[in-house]
Homo-oligomer: A and B are copies of this chain.
């Protein structure tokens, strides 16, 4: 059994990780930590976990000590030092934060502030989006687990971009996220009466996930891509829907597109390319590690409309982190991740 530890276990992504790890057939939860709730049981913070996870939150050192693999679910800027510690102690480290996601330090500084503590460490990190970079993940010990939007958008567009079926400029990602994406800390805009029955965009063309999705798609395309990313906040708990637009290259047909996507995703256990005409729906991927993709074109305007849906907390965070753990430890990639999305 792999001993897994979670740092930041009382945040939403951390708590979801604990839930997934407890159901994993080849991992056991070794220790958890939380800055705000040290000494308290996780089930005191989340009474849903009563009798299933009454483990007490300890400190980061103990988690590192007791674990073969450490998952960190922390605000950005707090993982680099931890990663170094894990590296020095020979532990695998999977970072659910942003610290290792951007390859270009200047870009990191521009969007997040701060810099890279150790360029060497960064060079050892693999970007953990298995459907696009699987071979690069295997055998690594330091994983930058992608953000939620940055999983959904590239998976919607990658086959079209890779096969040169769309123009690389003018791409638009109009995304809608459930509220858990905003984290556990109460705020005015996530106060129930203010969000409920409302809907709006935020950080329009200005969200930190922008350079990350550009980096991924640029790797796929083999050249630098910029895109316009507009996130919106949905009054639901979980899930992301990414509605992505790109200009079709002249003459490209639905059939060509579908072929490219089928080829790319045919053997992907977590990718479901939906039948023609069916639209991806957040409802159908909740509580699962699936990414559903649906393909449409607007022949009147020459547009591809590629829509993806994921559970932001699973495929967009904790589930993908477990998928990465499976890859780096040589387990079956789907181990512990075959839970079926409930119908309602």
Instruction: State the A residues within 8 Å of B (CB).
Output: 12, 15-16, 19, 22-23, 46-53, 169-170, 172, 174, 176, 178-180, 184-188, 190-202, 204-205, 226-228, 230, 232, 234-239, 241, 243, 245, 247, 272, 274, 278-288, 292, 296-298, 300-301, 303, 305, 307, 309, 313, 338-344
Contacts and interface: CB of A to CB of B under 8 A. Distances in A.
Nearest to A20: B340
A83 B197 CA distance: 36
Contacts of A339: 23, 339
A275 to B, nearest CB: 9
A289 to B, nearest CB: 11
A199 B15 contact: no
A344 B193 contact: yes
Contact of A298 (B174, B228, B283): B228
A187 B188 CA distance: 9
A238 B344 contact: yes
A304 B285 CA distance: 32
A293 to B, nearest CB: 12
Given A23-B340, A201-B243, A305-B230, A196 B50 contact: no
A48 B172 contact: no
27 contacts: A23-B339, A46-B343, A48-B283, A48-B340, A50-B272, A53-B340, A172-B303, A176-B176, A176-B199, A179-B193, A190-B191, A196-B237, A197-B286, A198-B284, A199-B234, A200-B283, A200-B307, A201-B279, A204-B279, A204-B296, A205-B298, A228-B301, A228-B303, A230-B243, A230-B305, A232-B243, A238-B344
